[in-house]
Structure 1
């Protein structure tokens, strides 16, 4: 009898262990307006819990994240989780194509899992031009304790959220774009929401102990400009970018394109004093920079005013990209080598070329992908699809996989492309303009295998890196150049492909990719959450029964 009781207890303990969920991390955000003066001019900004930048989301791989957002603005609000793959759960992606906005005076609770991910990421408000007013913060995902990291534990970790900044409020900037004009050049560059004057009165943003090594998480959360990041007298060893451990090369400076994140190690092995951290604009006709101080513990010696210069040409940046390599000997978020996924040996089933362009539509500025300038309908695309009324809201596949050499006209409409579940796809981004483009694809990481000047053709595949290209979620495309990515569409949902340039994105340089599971299985995609907000033409319709089983 006693043995039977013990066996039953052991079985119950085993069952509880099997069905136990991964840990939860909870946050409550009160989003409001507040007055800040990062460039010396008082202006209205979007604050989270009265902070700019916003509070950090700090978690480990496979944690469940719960964020209860209270919208105290006078406008609808959404947050998106830049680079987080949200497996099977585009419902929580926080873009207007997947979610109804959080109305003023109300709240909504996001719930998502950082499944099998590590690294440095960030979040931002996704509606209108809210990101240009703040509401941005860091999101870091640590590796689980049982999975080794390919470098010793640092003494500490520091965020460097860098980005260009406008002193005009987001509403004024929106009015400029709605009139059909461009918002022009930014007013400055910020590092963690401020910039140092180097007047001898400022305290270091962070301090370091002599001889110790520190991890820096660097993200370009800005709106327009690529930035070169460098620290006076301190080389940086790159160890991770956007969820992938990298070959540990050392750099004097890094070009960080809009939306991109790098994680580096820096050793405090110089003379104890303050040192200047710089983030300066690249590839523009103007020069702007943001500065901060990083100091040595126990020293009050001022920094030298000799600041290292940024590189000049974008060819330098292209060559730097070619040095980024996946660390094939390191574990990832799962206990298997990162290089065990031999992406270079998979047959490509479809090639899609995306060409960005700029037009004047009835005198107003518009940006487009393959000739279509995206607009968000009142009913989120994912909701319309789930309720079976997508034909009343938008049309699929109004763009071609292989657009003509010259796109002579523009269509302003919702831009939704379908992709077959689990197909291995090649995507070419071709940029015929004179400015650097940067794209993010929600729900996925991809292998950035090629990047060159000129036009892309099939013969360019011979130049691809099919062995150790870094898996990441943003891609830059240099002027009059192309970039190529490879990925498997194995994450069912409605996913946003967007320009990271705020003006371009707002004026149509974005789209959605719909990936449906033919088996309608819960293993592939979640049903509509019971807590999901409903809006648009489906607001008063009966909720469909479970679509996925």
Structure 2
């Protein structure tokens, strides 16, 4: 017993010396080896990115408050970096895994992420943010289970499955990067995959998952693609939506769900049909030519292949908008803690700052760039957060270098890092309006645990505030914005760090549609923000500089 206690104390000291993650909560450890490998989701061999020889990558299966330690070995021939999409990283943006906070992992080296899934539950994913690596793999599911003492608003499922869907380009990530660097967008994808596969329907397809008749299963569905919204459905089986990106929802049944890029949904599916094989289907939305992928779900001891009667996707983006309006927060359910989700009365909080982000597509020196309020983001060689921490931010970027309202006329798009300087806990809220100019539907990721107050077509005006949902808007971290439309979101400013707001449409993200929000600890205290980890990678102008003195306790 004494030896076990000593090991525990040493472990806590080791972890705390790097980033002060919570001792007493369980640790889970992973060792990942990132390599190239040949994959063929659409039947065409592509140089893909594997994690431990898996595509998609391995699932991270965690529980609320677990300390997650992932040692990533980069065996590629280029820098590599993974982000943990939707994980809050309380006081710890050092582990966010985006280029504004972290140096990429050089080839032939490794880096260990240490983060805690503090007070979170739900369905998330991870993926690479360097170059165009996301186009060829390196992504997978990340689930956070509720602690046994915290009830969930449904019975325990018979099993828990993750489905990664996405569009797919057969060109490979190097060719796609050259397309974007030449000043063009990616165009239309070659097809769609489901967990890296497409069923041929010839009776020889292996099942993705197996169900037992009469039992109910949890499926976590994430769109890890580059740019295409997908409609997902089970042949002959309704889906009961129970959670999205960390929030329990009012439990409605759906025949199909539009899953936009970067979004994750959790549904319950009951195996209540004739025991046989059934298709799961993913189809492109809002594209001139529809592409569809199918996979097999098999009943145990079932007899017979799936029916050829494939359920059709809906038509038009108005259907998708109307479906979105049915999503509601379950105000009676507990989240990661015993208090109900509805105890957070966000509708009564005063707004401290209003920012409108308008996105445009412009040419700069003859090459396509995507801009926000007249500025197109470029990645500096020194991560923004490192520059800020080392006191050399003025050499890398300017604060508040976009206007809070978009210019009525943009004469010239500028290229530079975009950083908004915000006040920590300034009445706890920031209000953003993301305005969609007339090109295709997009998905935006905001800071973690944002509240989507409204999505509406037409032009925004002050009286539109009367239509905002001030009661049960779902707290999540992505939102779709439809053509000629706008979305209103509410963001908490209670988590110090450097946080990325970005388009999840990857050619727009790569070509400039992202910003960062800086929230500094006013007292330079570890109560607000953790110190720079001892093993953090440095690069750019801060490489070789002496470390700044640590924050006080």
Answer whether TM exceeds 0.5 for this pair.
yes
RMSD: 1.3
Q: Distance in 1 between matches of 2:36 and 2:469?
A: 46
Confirm whether residue 280 of structure 1 aligns to residue 275 of structure 2.
no
- Distance apart, 1:459 and its partner CA: 1.0
SS of equivalent to 1:382: helix
Matched residue, 2:458? 454
Matched residue, 1:328? 331
Matched residue, 2:254? 251
- Distance apart, 1:545 and its partner CA: 0.5
Confirm whether residue 139 of structure 1 aligns to residue 145 of structure 2.
no
Alignment of 1:40-189 (within 5 A): 40-189=43-192
Instruction: Write out per-residue CA displacement over residues 46-68 of structure 1, whole angstroms, 9 at most, x where no aligned residue.
Output: 00000000001110000000000
- Distance apart, 1:176 and its partner CA: 1.1
Question: Which consecutive residues of structure 1, in runs of 5 or more, have no partner in the other structure?
Answer: 1-11
Which runs of at least 4 in structure 1 moved beyond 4 Å after TM superposition?
Answer: none
SS of equivalent to 1:445: strand
Matched residue, 2:541? 537
Matched residue, 1:317? 320
Confirm whether residue 416 of structure 1 aligns to residue 419 of structure 2.
yes
- Distance apart, 1:200 and its partner CA: 1.6
Matched residue, 1:431? 436
Asked if structure 2 preserves the Cα contact closer than 8 Å seen for 1:526 and 1:548, the reply is no
Matched residue, 2:524? 520
Matched residue, 2:17? none
Q: Distance in 2 between matches of 1:31 and 1:278?
A: 29
SS of equivalent to 2:178: helix
Aligned residues: 532
- Distance apart, 1:336 and its partner CA: 0.5
Q: Distance in 2 between matches of 1:396 and 1:523?
A: 24
Q: Distance in 2 between matches of 1:456 and 1:65?
A: 42
Asked if structure 2 preserves the Cα contact closer than 8 Å seen for 1:397 and 1:416, the reply is yes
- Distance apart, 1:523 and its partner CA: 1.1
- Distance apart, 1:405 and its partner CA: 3.2
Alignment of 1:217-256 (within 5 A): 217-256=220-259
- Distance apart, 1:338 and its partner CA: 0.5
Confirm whether residue 496 of structure 1 aligns to residue 507 of structure 2.
no
Matched residue, 1:5? none
Question: Which consecutive residues of structure 2, in runs of 5 or more, have no partner in the other structure?
Answer: 1-8, 14-21
Matched residue, 2:469? 465
Q: Distance in 2 between matches of 1:495 and 1:480?
A: 27
Q: Distance in 1 between matches of 2:48 and 2:460?
A: 42
Q: Distance in 2 between matches of 1:285 and 1:419?
A: 41
- Distance apart, 1:548 and its partner CA: 4.7
Q: Distance in 2 between matches of 1:59 and 1:427?
A: 32
Asked if structure 2 preserves the Cα contact closer than 8 Å seen for 1:163 and 1:221, the reply is yes
- Distance apart, 1:206 and its partner CA: 1.0
SS of equivalent to 2:274: coil
- Distance apart, 1:184 and its partner CA: 1.0
Confirm whether residue 403 of structure 1 aligns to residue 406 of structure 2.
yes
Matched residue, 2:4? none
Instruction: Write out per-residue CA displacement over residues 506-543 of structure 1, whole angstroms, 9 at most, x where no aligned residue.
Output: 11111111111212221110111111111111112111
Q: Distance in 1 between matches of 2:269 and 2:293?
A: 20
Q: Tell me the TM-score normalized by structure 1.
A: 0.95
Q: Distance in 1 between matches of 2:362 and 2:135?
A: 23
Instruction: Write out per-residue CA displacement over residues 121-146 of structure 1, whole angstroms, 9 at most, x where no aligned residue.
Output: 00001111111110000000000111
- Distance apart, 1:20 and its partner CA: 4.5
- Distance apart, 1:203 and its partner CA: 2.4
Asked if structure 2 preserves the Cα contact closer than 8 Å seen for 1:525 and 1:548, the reply is no
Matched residue, 2:550? 546
Instruction: Write out per-residue CA displacement over residues 387-407 of structure 1, whole angstroms, 9 at most, x where no aligned residue.
Output: 111001111111011112343
SS of equivalent to 2:347: helix
Asked if structure 1 preserves the Cα contact closer than 8 Å seen for 2:208 and 2:295, the reply is yes
- Distance apart, 1:408 and its partner CA: 3.5
Confirm whether residue 204 of structure 1 aligns to residue 207 of structure 2.
yes
Q: Distance in 1 between matches of 2:536 and 2:204?
A: 50
Q: 2:512 is matched with which residue: 491, 508, 514?
A: 508
Q: 1:382 is matched with which residue: 359, 381, 385?
A: 385
SS of equivalent to 2:164: strand
Matched residue, 1:35? 38
- Distance apart, 1:425 and its partner CA: 1.5
- Cα distance change on mapping 1:280 and 1:548 into 2, 3 Å: farther
Asked if structure 2 preserves the Cα contact closer than 8 Å seen for 1:527 and 1:548, the reply is no
Confirm whether residue 23 of structure 1 aligns to residue 29 of structure 2.
no
Q: Distance in 2 between matches of 1:33 and 1:241?
A: 32
Q: Distance in 1 between matches of 2:550 and 2:446?
A: 27
Matched residue, 1:299? 302
Q: Distance in 1 between matches of 2:409 and 2:489?
A: 23
Asked if structure 2 preserves the Cα contact closer than 8 Å seen for 1:27 and 1:66, the reply is yes
Q: Distance in 1 between matches of 2:543 and 2:366?
A: 35
Asked if structure 2 preserves the Cα contact closer than 8 Å seen for 1:31 and 1:71, the reply is yes
Alignment of 1:335-414 (within 5 A): 335-414=338-417
Q: Distance in 1 between matches of 2:321 and 2:179?
A: 33
